[in-house]
Structures are given as C-alpha cells and as structure tokens.
Structure 1
Amino acid sequence: MEQGRLLRDGQPFLAIGVNYHPSRAGCRLWIDWDPVALRRDFAGMAGAGLTTVRFFVFWRDFEPEPGRYREKALDRLREAVETAGQEGLSCVVSLLTIWMNGQLLDLPWRHGRDLWRDEEMLDRQEAFARAVATTLHGVAGLLAIDLGDEIGNVRTGPAPTREQVAAWQARLAGALRDERPGTLVVQANDASGVLGPAPFGPDNAGGLDLVAVHGFPTWAAGSIESTLSYKATSLAPFLVRYAAAYGVPIVDELGSYGVDEATAAAYLGAAAASALANGAAGIVPWCWQDIASRDEPYQDRPGEREVGLHRLDGSPKPAMTALRRVASAASGLVPGRARAPIALYVPERQRGSGASYLDSGPDTVATFYAYLLLKRAHLDFDVVAGDLSGYRMVVCPSVTRVIAADLDRLTRHVDDGGLLWYSLGDHLHGFPGADLAGVELVDYSLLPDGRTTLDWAGRQWPLEWPATARPVDVRATTARTVGRWADGSGAVFQNRDRVFFCAAPVERQLDRPGRLAAYPWEWWYRELAGLAGIVPDPDCVDPDVEIVPDRGAGRRAVLINHGAGAVRPDLRWGGEERPVPLEPKQWRIVTRGADGWS
C-alpha cells in the first residue's frame, strides 16, 4: 500500500476478481478437497483478465475443538493461496467465517458465547489468527486477510459496542501482523455498516488497512425501486465514496438476487464501473459459478446456488462478460487525484445508534440522497469526515446530530470564505446554532399544515415530512429569508452571505420510491454551487448520466448511464459540445485530446 493505492511488485494494482466456492464442494471445500478443481477455476479467472479471488476459511473446519487445529486444513489453505498465486491471482482470505448466506456455520464448541465479550472466545480468535498467519508466512499470493465476513451478524445477545469492535479489530490485526509482517487487514461489512447503526463500518475502521463494503441493492436502505433503477447502480459507488472518507475502500461483495441474467449483467456492469471510477481499490463480485452442492447452507436458501457468473456447465453468463469488460478497462476507469471544489460533509456522530431517548438513529440515508443530487447536478465533490480546509462549498444534508467539533469545522469553513448548505434533520441535536444559521428556534409542531410546499427563487417544491422529523418554527436573527413555506413563514435563510440554512430535511424526505426523479431536486445544489462560483465541467442535461472527471490531467471522463433507457446527451466540456450515445446501464471512457474526442 502506498498513498492509498494498492501495489503489486511495485506497480499500481486493482483488485478485480470474484468471490469463490468450488461448485461441487460449496462450503465444504476444506473437507471435500479438490485441488484440481481449484487450479482449473483459478486459471479460468486469470484467463478472464481477473486479478483477485476471495475465499472463506470456515473456522469450524479448522478448529473442531478449542485449541486443536486440523493441520491438513491449514496445509490446504496454504496450497490454495499458493495455487492462486501461481495462476497470477492475489487472494483475499476471509478468516473467521461463521456467517454465510444468511446461516450460521457455527463452531460446535462456541455454545452461543459472545465473540467480543467472552474472554475465552477472544483468546481463541487471536490464537486462530496467529495460526493462519503463520501458515501463510512467506506465501506471495496473499492480498489481504478479512477478519470475518459480515461477522456482525454472528451474535446471540446485544450488538457489541463501537469500542469493543475497535479493540477486537486492533487485537486480531496486530496478531496477524506479528506472525506475518506486512499483512493487509480488512473487515468486510454489509450495508448496515454505512446505512444503519451497526458498530462495524468504515467510520470504525481503526487497525484496518482497507475498508470493505458490500453492494447489494436488495438489502439496502434508501427506497431502491428495483435492481435496474438509478439508485441501485449508484449504491456501490456511494458506499465507496463514503468509505473513502475513512480509509482505502474496496467492494469485496457485489451483485444482484432474484433477477434474470440480462438484469444481473446490466446491474453489474454499471455498478462495477462506477465503483472503480469513484475510487474503489477493487471490486469482487459474487460469485464465480453456480453451486452444485446441496449441503449446508444451501438446504435453507437454495436460491444462493444460482447467483454465479458461470452456469453449472461452466459456460459464462452475460454478467461475466460485463465483468470482463470492466476488468479490461479498469486502469482507464481509475480517476486522477486532486481535491474537488465541494465537500459532502459527514458529521462525527452521524451513525448514532439511538442508545437512549435523546439519540437519533443514523441519518446516512440523507447522505446517500445528497450524493445522488450532487451526481445528478454533475458537480464534482469529495465525501469528507474531517478537515474542510480548501473546499469552496460544503453540503450538510438533513443533519440530526452535530457536536462541537463539527460546528468548529463548519465555522472555520465559512470564516475562510466558503459557502455552506445546511438542512435540518432534528431541531434539537441537529441545529447548528444561531451564530451559524442566523436564526433561532421558536417551537416544533407535529402538524405540517402550510409547510408541505416551499417557494424558493420563484420555484415551488412539494415536501413530504418524514415520520421522524418535526416541522419547526424558526425566527430570523441575522439571516434574511430567501425561501418561504406556503403559509408565508420562513423556510430557507441566508446568513453572512455564505450560509444557507433550510429548516427542513430536504434530502431525507426524498426517501420514497420514485420521488428523487419526480422533480429536478438537483437544481438546489446547482444553484448554490453557482453562488460559490462552481460550474460543472464536463456537464450534460441528463441527470441519470453520471460524469466522473479525471482530476489529474483533466482530459478524461467516465460516463455511466444509470438510467433504464437509452440516451444521447450532449456532453459539454471545455467549451465544446458533442453527443455521447449510451444504452441503458452502459458506461464509456471519453478522452479529450488535441485531435478531438474519443
């Protein structure tokens, strides 16, 4: 790892690969060992242009009794990593695999004991981590060790605290690095690590080298209408951008369920290309091949056997073709690095767990919608969880919780001449104070009468109040009113010329099926950006087309049509304008040179 980029043999490396169970053995691969099948499959992956394979260490198969390891299983693990390396692949090894496909493949001796609170279980995990790291010492084919795939689902009591998770990660990562110096460590989490209150997540990634996210729209918050919806293929890149605020992001599970082959291919192509364009260090879809095995966990969830990129006979599905296209163009999808002019700010306590009646739940769904609005406005931005120095505009969407450190950063940003957009999600714990907002709180009301339509700059906007949000009366102190509710009361205020405060959760109220595209909500952000002197370039009129500009040389851009229909938008770039045809979910790399565009 160097400057947030993966390297292999000193050269930039992208982890483009697949999750893997052998089709015949399934989750019994360490018991029903077939090295011939592994080599054949690994060779097939490398031949398809992939660089990475992720597979799973089912803990119960390696440590059937406390402290007694199956040496044969450890030898097989080493052989698997060596074989992958010989075929040109790097491995992500998921260490403490207990949870798989919605079931517990549990240790027979755990007896429901807590992985994060029980001292004996903590000792056993550390010892097993050391045993695996020792086994893999000196093996060159290892990219990273994942501590435990979606391990937050392995619990019998209350969820661990954030502090317990951080200590657990640091302890196991330290053990791995003690026995195998230089090992990269990752923790793979489902979307609740971003969009929910789970203590596992990018914002609690201490001790980790990579921050892993899983992109499955079926199980994500945000009112994602379908697998082929705009929001569905925008989910994984959003998770990447969010994770990048805390570390080096990788999508180590990605895919779709309950769809036909054409839908799976369209989804994977757009989501994978967009994830890489938005800065992922790799994408590892689920999974290599349909599963022939009918053993556990496939008795309870037989549909899990049919989500491979290859059929049982080994023939590739259309999704595999989509992945190969992404792999072949991966280096061109990676953006150049530089600071964007806009910061989408993540408050420090955004993913509050609601531990008491004073606490709001997580409000990252509002961040997701702010991300979508910025994308639909074709504005270049960073997701930022810390210092805001150097940004010309900061977006704080539907805030439910701010602490003093957040307010200090926002105040410094405004004092330095930056523009601030701040919408209110909770009038008690999300209010930024009268000095910053230029208004004071009067009272709340559970009756939104007269406050379902907002007039700003001659446009009317229908707002739906979420059940968790309370309409609030505010009184201007130093601010002037620039937007009003239908009843004439103030809704949007401008303070110190550079602070725009909205007394409603504009972004959070978009969390309804179909609502995002029902009105041109992105206009709000474009209007504000214009006041900050920010004009999108490149740009087009179609909000469903994502444009990711290269911040390096500035001569390349990735275009992804996240929409369900074919489009032919005129791309405006550097004073020129050219049509760029895009089929549904199609992506293109556009280069602008001295001899024209390509």
Structure 2
Amino acid sequence: MTFHVTGGRLCRDGRPFTVLGVNYHPAGAGCRIWTDWDPTAIKADFGDMAAAGLNTVRLFVFWRDFHPEPGHIRPEMLARLRTAVRTAGDAGLACVVSLFTIWMNGQRLDLPWRAGRSLWRDPEMLDRQEAFARAAARELADLDDLLAFDLGDEIGNVDPAEAALLAPGDVAAWQRRIAATLRAERPGTLVTQANDASGVLGRSVFGPDNADGLDLVATHGFPTWAPGSIESTLSVKATHLAPFLARAAGAYGPAVVDELGSYGVDEDTAARYLRAAAASALANGAQGVIPWCWRDITSTAEPYRDRPMERLVGLHTADGGAKPAMAEYARVLRAAPALALRRDRAPVALYIPERARPRGGGYLDAGVGTVALLYGYLLLKRAHLDFDVVAGDVGGYRLIVCPSTTHLTLTDIERIDAAATGGAAVYLSLGDHLHGFPGEPLAGARLVDFSLNADGRSGFSWDGRRWEVDWAAAAAPPVTVRPTTGEPVAGYDDGSPAVLARRHGAGRILFATMPLERQLDRPGRLTAAPWEGWYRRVADWAGVPPGARCDVPDVEVVTGRSQDRRRAVVVNHRPAPVETGLTLPGGRRLRLRLDAKDWRILDLDPDPGPAGDPDGAP
C-alpha cells in the first residue's frame, strides 16, 4: 500500500509523510454530507485545500446513512464514499476515513436499529460492524490515497456508561477484530482510533496505551475540555497541550493530533492558539496535525440545531473567506518540512508508569497520574531540559523523572531499579503512598503513616531555598517516612524528611515524599513561582545540563534535524510578546523577539542556508 509505518514513522511510498490536513464537513450539508450529496461542492473544497498547501482531509462516515437496516448496506452510499476519496486523490489529498461515526459535535447521530446495544460486546453489533467494515474496505480497496481508517471518532462517547464498564481487553479485542477485517479486504491498510484528551489525561479505556490492532494513535487537542487547570485558550498550558498529548501518545506508537482547535474565542485568539500549538506539536514529534475544521457550516440540521455554535469554528467563513487562523495555519504548512524535527535520543526520560491511568475505578485506585505527567512535561520544558517521554524500558537514560507516582507495578519498580543500578539518576516524587511508593530499597526510607494535618508541612527547603506545597491541590495527605539507607537532603518546615537521596548500584535515587508536580494543578500556580527551578536543581544533582539556555521559561526550545540540517524550533507560549536571550547547542548566542504565541526556526549548522520559517530567522 502507498501508506505504511516504518521504524515508527508514517511514510508514503517509502518516504516520511507529515499529515497536514483538515477535518471536513461541507458548509451547506454539514453532517448530511452523504444524504445531501453535492460532489461539485466537495470537489471545489478539495481543490481549495490542496491550493492552500494541505495534503490530507479527514472525512466522517455517518454509519446510519450507510447502514439504515441491520441487513442492508446502501451501495449508493458506498459509491459516494468512493467518489469522495477518489476526488480527494485527484486533488492531491490523502484521506483519513472515520468509519463508525455516531458521536459528532456533542450529539449522537445513532443507528435507528442499535437500540442501545453495546458496540463492543454485543455479538450482533460486532457482526454488523464487521460487515460494514468489510464493505467499506472493499469499496476503497484499489484507491491509493486512503491514508487510514479511523475506527470511530471519540467512539467511547457513543455510550459513556457502557464504555465505563469495558475492560482494556474488550477495547483491544474490538480494535483487533475490526482492523483485521479491514486488512483482509485491503491488505496493508493503516488503522487508527481517534480519541479525546481523556484517552491520555483521563480514565477512558480508549487511549494510546491500549492501542492493540492500531498502526497510528490519534489524539485531540482542545484546551476547553482538557483537565489540568488550563486557565484560558491563550494560557501557557493551553498551547503546550497538543504537543504534550502527541509526546505522551507517541510513547506507544506514531501519533497524529487529528483534531486541533479552540472554541468560544474570537478570531485573533483562535489564530494565536493554532499557530503556537500546531508548530509546537510538529516540532515535538507529532506525525501530523488536522485542525478542526475547514469551513463554517450553514446547515441547520442535527447536530447544529441543538448546538448551533458548532457551526462557527471553521478556518474559513461559510462563503470561503479565510479567517486569521487559516493564515497562521498556512504559515505552518509552508514551514512544515523544517518544523517536523527528528530528535536524537535525549539524556532525560519522563517515565509513564504502566498504571498511570486507573483501569479499575475501585476504592483502591488512586487518581489519574497523567495529570502529574503533564506538569512534569511542563516543568522539563520550562527548565529547557531535553527529554523523551517513555512507556517501557528506560535503560540508557542519564536521568529518569517519575512525577507524583500514584501506581507503580512490579514491572515499573524493576525498570527503575535496573536503570539506577546501571548508572542512571532517578527522581521520583510520591503521588499516592499506598500504590505509588517504590519500596524501601529504592526510596531509602520506610513509610510511617499519613496525616490529614498538614501543620509544619506547608513547605520544604533544599540548599537554602524554600518550596511551598499546596496539599489540597496535591489531592494526597502528607506522609511521614523513616530514613533507612536514604540521606535527607531537604526537610519540611517541621524538620521531618521531605526529600531523600541515596546511592543505588552505579546510580542514584532522589525520592520526594510529596506530589510536587500534581500540587501545581491550580490556575496560575505553575507560572506564579519559578517551579522549573526545582527541575533544574534535580538536573544539576544528576549532572545533566539543559539542552539550550533561555532566560524566559515560557519560551520552548526544541532541537533536532529536518531537511538534513540541525535546527531549533523556538515557540513563545506566552500570550504576550517576549524578548529573550538564547544559548543554543554548539554555543551560539542571540537575542530573539517573538510576538505572542509566535514561533521561529533557527538553523544550527554552520553557514546556514535559508531558514525553514518562511518569515525568516533573525
């Protein structure tokens, strides 16, 4: 097939392919694209997309339109799907086809005959899905411009109560079954599953850490609905969200941010959000971005009658006029070959434990650990430390960061033990004293007790610097430990141990007795104090220098290779202009001014050629 995954990279005809797309409903038909069929309008839109520099369009197959009765799949609808994919290919666009689309824009456009039955466990519904997948794959079998089948947009929202009862194995078995059906009719077909942020930051069993049967992992970056105290669409955290999701999902497979955008904002805010989030996502290893969506919608049919604001989030007005966000996306499209960095292995690993996302929901399960992972990511970025996000073996890294651990399995503990024994420095902060504690041999201490009284524990000091702890935000009680082989290096205000250090084989372990990262989960708290200084101190302890030096924490610096040159992508995540000093790898120093939520590409090789940024580098 034309599209394939090689070495963890999405490729087309053997060459790396970066997805630069858009989600699509026709302006007039909206979600009635297949029933109010207008191939002329679709062809014109696809031509406009290609002319704007896009290479991909994502289409939604509203299952009820194709399969109105259990035993009847409408051949004329399959023919329309084929025409749409072929028309896209004629325009130079690849297609992502979202197959079992029921949930859309906050409403269920459901099959009249499903009658509430489970998509994932009901035998008849599974058989019907298999039949429809077989028919769709057969219809598109000879078209080379099908990039991937998406099994169903945010499909867990079709029946949240049922989805909450699913075990990870139920979802994995469903994915494997439908993917195998698709590949049987169209060998080599790539399959993905598009999930909202709860697939990384929540409890949903639909997520990249449960991706059996999938070739690509997809995630959606909308700050409006993401956990993690994102203060506003233009906050620092907001434009870090999509790149964080891409990095976290990328720990399990090639990741695409296949929905990206903002709601309830003015056009200038939407433009600034998209330019920083899209550029940062590509620089951080996303295999592509697909903003929501091409045009505003004029349709008044469902779901727009119930949710009319869903019609107004296009990159263009309904009559085709480009909005400011499209101008910013066009700039990203032009620079994408340079923005899409390929990074070397970093010295630091941000580790995702096996059970960072609870899978039981019982009283023994602690909170979702990936919110703390988000804050670990943000602190590493703000400290300008070069890191990988890792779910698996962490051997070979110089520093392993385990932020606010809530659940460690024996496998997690064995990985940490082996890495430290082999010479790595490990920093681990405690998120839950029952299931996140690594054990006395690693912590260098024994648990004594917890207390709901935080008196004397509102702050701790290390090397003469005091750090405050918000125990309410931490969602965990203070814990008392008794040092054994660990040496207390930081103490709470009452003198009790807060942080302990110990040798472990050829390496070292730094154990913090509080959820330092998770206690930052309050609006404004991340940027109200220089918390990144804590991570710089940890890196100094580990002997790991920053990848670049920058005097503004809100400015992100990502280094790597693109177009056979070493480059740095610099992104201002601040909602205001900045002027900053940079010292880049290799020693190059410069002053750089960036507008609010702006980005720049710098060439790190000697005798640089033209910068990848079409607006030029300083």
Confirm or deny a common fold (TM above 0.5): yes
- Select 2:480's aligned residue among 473, 481, 494: 473
Where does residue 298 of structure 2 map in the other structure?
Answer: 292
CA contact (8 A) 1:340 1:382 kept: yes
Q: Distance in 2 between matches of 1:579 and 1:156?
A: 50
- 1:138-157 to 2 correspondences below 5 Å: 138-155=142-159, 157=161
Structure 2 residue 544 is matched with structure 1 residue 534 = yes
- Select 2:330's aligned residue among 304, 324, 336: 324
Q: Give the paired residue count.
A: 598
* C-alpha deviation, 1:495, in angstroms: 1.1
* C-alpha deviation, 1:11, in angstroms: 2.5
- 1:245-256 to 2 correspondences below 5 Å: 245-256=251-262
Where does residue 391 of structure 2 map in the other structure?
Answer: 385
Paired AA for residue 425 in structure 2: L
Which stretch of structure 1 is more off in the superposition, 302-311 or 536-545?
536-545
Where does residue 13 of structure 2 map in the other structure?
Answer: 9
Paired AA for residue 416 in structure 1: G
- Select 2:508's aligned residue among 498, 516, 519: 498
Q: Distance in 1 between matches of 2:588 and 2:41?
A: 53
CA contact (8 A) 1:112 1:156 kept: no
Where does residue 84 of structure 2 map in the other structure?
Answer: 80
* C-alpha deviation, 1:362, in angstroms: 1.5
Paired AA for residue 493 in structure 2: A
- 1:49-68 to 2 correspondences below 5 Å: 49-68=53-72
Structure 2 residue 576 is matched with structure 1 residue 565 = yes
* C-alpha deviation, 1:161, in angstroms: 1.6
Paired AA for residue 581 in structure 1: R
* C-alpha deviation, 1:23, in angstroms: 0.3
* C-alpha deviation, 1:65, in angstroms: 0.2
SS of 1:353's partner is coil
Where does residue 596 of structure 2 map in the other structure?
Answer: 584
- Select 1:512's aligned residue among 510, 517, 522: 522
* C-alpha deviation, 1:9, in angstroms: 2.9
Where does residue 567 of structure 2 map in the other structure?
Answer: 556
* C-alpha deviation, 1:537, in angstroms: 3.2
CA contact (8 A) 2:474 2:518 kept: no
Deviations 1:77-121 (A, max 9, x none): 000000000000000000000000010000000011111111100
Paired AA for residue 589 in structure 2: E
SS of 1:83's partner is helix
- Select 1:198's aligned residue among 201, 204, 214: 204
CA contact (8 A) 1:213 1:250 kept: yes
Q: Distance in 1 between matches of 2:386 and 2:187?
A: 38
Q: Distance in 1 between matches of 2:113 and 2:26?
A: 27
Q: Distance in 2 between matches of 1:379 and 1:554?
A: 21
Unmatched segments (≥5 aa) in structure 2 = 612-616
Where does residue 485 of structure 1 map in the other structure?
Answer: 492
Q: Distance in 2 between matches of 1:481 and 1:173?
A: 53
CA contact (8 A) 1:177 1:183 kept: yes
Where does residue 97 of structure 1 map in the other structure?
Answer: 101
CA contact (8 A) 1:438 1:476 kept: yes
* C-alpha deviation, 1:534, in angstroms: 1.6
* C-alpha deviation, 1:326, in angstroms: 0.5
- 1:164-183 to 2 correspondences below 5 Å: 164-183=170-189
CA contact (8 A) 1:545 1:563 kept: yes
Q: Distance in 2 between matches of 1:572 and 1:157?
A: 52
Q: Distance in 2 between matches of 1:21 and 1:355?
A: 37
SS of 1:16's partner is strand
Paired AA for residue 549 in structure 2: D
Structure 2 residue 38 is matched with structure 1 residue 34 = yes
CA contact (8 A) 1:309 1:316 kept: yes
SS of 2:578's partner is coil
Structure 2 residue 313 is matched with structure 1 residue 302 = no
Q: Distance in 1 between matches of 2:159 and 2:20?
A: 31
- Select 1:418's aligned residue among 424, 442, 448: 424
SS of 2:26's partner is coil
Calculate percent identity across the aligned residue pairs: 62
CA contact (8 A) 1:353 1:360 kept: no
CA contact (8 A) 1:240 1:251 kept: yes
Where does residue 614 of structure 2 map in the other structure?
Answer: none
* C-alpha deviation, 1:157, in angstroms: 3.7
SS of 1:420's partner is strand
CA contact (8 A) 2:30 2:299 kept: yes
Q: Distance in 1 between matches of 2:494 and 2:590?
A: 45
Where does residue 543 of structure 1 map in the other structure?
Answer: 553
* C-alpha deviation, 1:538, in angstroms: 2.2
Which stretch of structure 1 is more off in the superposition, 221-230 or 584-593?
584-593
Structure 2 residue 273 is matched with structure 1 residue 267 = yes
CA contact (8 A) 1:113 1:156 kept: no
Q: Distance in 2 between matches of 1:425 and 1:91?
A: 42
- Select 2:462's aligned residue among 451, 456, 461: 456
Paired AA for residue 462 in structure 1: E
* C-alpha deviation, 1:10, in angstroms: 2.9
- Select 2:400's aligned residue among 374, 380, 394: 394
SS of 2:604's partner is strand
- Select 2:445's aligned residue among 439, 452, 455: 439
* C-alpha deviation, 1:467, in angstroms: 6.2
Where does residue 19 of structure 1 map in the other structure?
Answer: 23
CA contact (8 A) 2:285 2:342 kept: no
CA contact (8 A) 2:424 2:508 kept: yes
* C-alpha deviation, 1:156, in angstroms: 6.3
Q: Distance in 2 between matches of 1:509 and 1:60?
A: 46
Which stretch of structure 1 is more off in the superposition, 394-403 or 333-342?
333-342
TM-score by length of 1: 0.98
SS of 2:448's partner is strand
CA contact (8 A) 2:565 2:605 kept: no
C-alpha RMSD over aligned residues: 1.2
Which stretch of structure 1 is more off in the superposition, 33-42 or 346-355?
346-355
* C-alpha deviation, 1:554, in angstroms: 7.3
Paired AA for residue 416 in structure 2: L
Unmatched segments (≥5 aa) in structure 1 = none
TM-score by length of 2: 0.95
CA contact (8 A) 1:169 1:208 kept: yes
Which stretch of structure 1 is more off in the superposition, 14-23 or 493-502?
493-502
Q: Distance in 2 between matches of 1:284 and 1:569?
A: 31
* C-alpha deviation, 1:361, in angstroms: 2.9
Deviations 1:550-586 (A, max 9, x none): 1687731000000011111111122231111111100
Q: Once superposed, which parts of structure 1, at least 4 consecutive aligned residues long, lie more than 6 Å away?
A: none
SS of 1:378's partner is coil
* C-alpha deviation, 1:158, in angstroms: 3.2
